[in-house]
Amino acid sequence: MTIDITITEVAARDGLQNETHPVSTEQKIELIGRIAKAGMKRFEVTSFVSPRAVPALADAEEVVKGLPERDRLIVEGLVPNMRGAERAAALKLDEWVCFASASESHSQANSNTSTEEALGRLQPVIDLARQEGVTPVGAIATSFGCPFEGDVPVARVVDVARRMTDMGVETIKLGDTIGTAWPSRVRELVQAIRATLPKTTIVLHFHNTRGMSLANVLTGIAEGVDRYESALGGVGGCPFAPGATGNVPTEDLVHFLHLEGNRTGLDMDGLIKAGHWFETVLERKLPAHLLRAKPVGVTTDLSEMKRATG
């Protein structure tokens, strides 16, 4: 069955938050612009966290203000607390992503608070978002595993999702922070949230740390999930989660979805060109397979090849 899939591009936020190579404000804006030219509409562009905690995203305001063709995009920003909300309020974003960790240990490492404390400080952020005409969205880190505790029980994730929806959130992002999700767990968690919160929109955010992201996407689609997040080139990783590596690459995800007959509204060639440009910015090869191999069905002219001799 062919379905329409919505992708949120997170390279400018999740992709760069753990990046050691300096990326200028102008390059971040150009990155978003190049991906937008390939048809991407929805972007998580930055995070309004403390610049001391995540210096790579210290230019949040400048990035948002410089976005090209702003009215054509749906712009999200990560807003962890009221201090971040006050910064974001002046920028007229479309969505604020309010997050908490499902595991206590990651919450302490990532936010220096317990999960309970992190949830407690979200209500005023969500209230301010609605007051400002912004849609609040919930995001749950370590939904599929914690670098410090290992397995995170499904019931724990469902409880955090329920708490967020009780605050007024209608969309929940399930974050595979360290790339430990596997298909049967994806199925179990999606079904559990659907059973408890049937009106909640689910977004799946996979990292490709162990090469399982596309299998997890296929499982999500089988469960009726039509929203996913990815990062151009496969960049990314949480600076407060040891072993976290890049997101599922946008190029690879779109290639896979198109082969399966799904619609994304995105131009494959445009994404690949943007990915090669991004490699020049970061001055290294990126993990996306489609930056090394041609899309399935694209052939090579035999006349260009050396012939076997002897």
Instruction: Tell me the CATH number at 282.
Output: 3.20.20.70
Find the mean pLDDT for residues 72-87: 95
* 67-71, 108-112, 182-186, 296-300: least confident range: 108-112
* 281 located within any domain: yes
Q: Let me know if residue 309 belongs to a domain.
A: no
* Proportion of the chain above pLDDT 70, given as a percent: 95
pLDDT for 266: 98
Cα gap 41→9, rounded to integer Å: 8
Number of domains in the chain: 1
Task: Indicate whether 154 belongs to any domain.
Answer: yes
Does residue 11 sit within a domain?
yes
Reported as a single tens digit per residue, the pLDDT across 188-203 is: 999 999 999 999 999 9
In a domain, 310, yes or no: no
pLDDT, position 303: 80
Does the pLDDT at position 4 exceed 70? yes
238 is known as an active-site residue: yes
pLDDT band at 310 (very low <50, low <70, confident <90, very high): low
On whether residue 275 sits in a domain, the answer given is yes
pLDDT at 117 over 90: no
User: What confidence tens digit (pLDDT) does each residue in 147-202 have?
Assistant: 889 999 999 999 999 999 999 999 999 999 999 999 999 999 999 999 999 999 99
For residue 279, what are the domain limits? 6-304
Which of 31, 238, 271, 286 is catalytic? The answer is: 238
pLDDT value for 159: 96
Q: Is the pLDDT of residue 265 over 80?
A: yes
pLDDT for 106 equals 75
51 domain residue, yes or no? yes
Tens digit of each residue's pLDDT (9 = 90 or more) over 202-261: 999 999 999 999 999 999 999 999 999 999 999 987 666 666 678 999 999 999 999 999
- pTM of the predicted model as reported, rounded to 2 decimal places: 0.95
Mean pLDDT value of segment 273-282? 98
What pLDDT, in 10s, does the model give residues 22-68?
999 999 999 999 999 999 999 999 999 988 888 999 999 999 999 98
For residue 201, being part of any structural domain is answered with: yes
The predicted structure's pLDDT at residue 54: 87
